[in-house]
Amino acid sequence: MSAELSPIDKAKFAAAKRAVQYVEDGMRVGLGTGSTAAWMVRCLGEMVREEGLQIKGVPTSTRTADLARQMGIEVVTLDEAKWLDVTIDGADEFDGQLNLIKGGGGALLQEKIVATASDMMVVIADAAKEVAQLGAFPLPVEVVPFGWQTTRALIEETLVGMDVLGRTTTLRLNGQKPFLTDENNYIVDLHLNRIGDPRQLALVLNQIPGVVENGLFIDICDVVVIGQGDGRVEVRDINEGTIAHDQVDFGDSANIFTDLD
């Protein structure tokens, strides 16, 4: 079945399959949101069914919660778990310091809360997500609906003093209506092209009234697992300063592919 997957899906699956090796019996695990994270949830579900793995999963979105339950993973809230052993999630971009842009799927607020409530954050990605400097992917900023146009204007005014190449902003839509996050907020996407100082930008954006959170994850990610379409994976540990290589076998995971639509 895996032969029917695109190279990019194979790369995402390879990264997810390697990343779940960080999960041990009895752990409390943050479950990320997005296409790559969905592979991780499927891999964990297989471990629950086939190996008897017992974990408590804290999802970062309603759609991840639905998938986790479908895969047989026990789902609890962060308040119930209180603290997590590890969070595994995807990223829209990551740089050499493992700083991230996240929020392409609209779940950045819950993703950041869960990731920072974890002993370790593991990011799974394909090689195309690595960049020399963040910013090619639009930076999501979650804002409250009340006065959102004023908040957007303040963001644009703030960007004038930032080290960025672009300053265009757009309200994310779902059809003809504003996209709503799980917390019923809006998302304004910042088309910056290049972010010269991600740490400064993250701090400044969160000082703007109406801004709930931004998609810059600074000093949060501990490990990135980069998958390739042929099953090769590279594991970078920012704390240990190590880079390791591994090979994922697609053939032993037929159950994951059989329930794909």
**Cα 132–chain centre separation:** 19
Active site residues: 111
Residue 25 structure tokens: 């019996």
**Is 56 marked within a binding site?**
no
Give the long-range contacts of residues 74-77, CB within 8 A, separation 24 or more. 76/28
pTM beyond 0.85: the answer is yes
Q: Is 252 part of any known ligand binding site?
A: no
Amino acid at 136: A
Q: What pLDDT score was predicted for residue 23?
A: 98
Gap between the Cα atoms of 111 and 40, Å rounded: 15
Nearest residue to 200 (alpha-carbon basis) of 149, 247, 162: 162
Question: What pLDDT does 251 receive?
Answer: 74
Contact 220, 112 (CB under 8 A): yes
Q: Could you tell me which CATH number the domain at 2-130+219-258 has?
A: 3.40.50.1360
Look at residue 256 in the predicted model and tell me its pLDDT.
59
Over its length of 261 residues, how does the chain's per-residue pLDDT go in tens digits?
Answer: 455 789 999 999 999 999 999 999 999 999 999 999 999 999 999 999 999 999 999 999 999 999 999 999 999 999 999 999 999 999 999 999 999 999 999 999 999 999 999 999 999 999 999 999 999 999 999 999 999 999 999 999 999 999 999 999 999 999 999 999 999 999 999 999 999 999 999 999 999 999 999 999 999 999 999 999 999 999 999 999 999 999 998 876 655 555 544
Whether 104 has a binding-site annotation, put simply, is yes
Q: Is 77 annotated as a binding residue?
A: no
- Please report the pLDDT score of residue 261 as a whole number: 42
CA distance 78 to 249: 33
Q: What is residue 253's predicted lDDT score, i.e. its pLDDT?
A: 61
The CATH number that domain 139-212 falls under is 3.30.70.260
Residue type, 103: G
Residue 129 labelled as part of a binding site: yes
Residue 182, annotated as binding a ligand:
no
Domain boundaries, the chain: 2-130+219-258, 139-212
Are 200 and 164 within 8 A, CB to CB? no
* Amino acid code (one letter) for 234: E
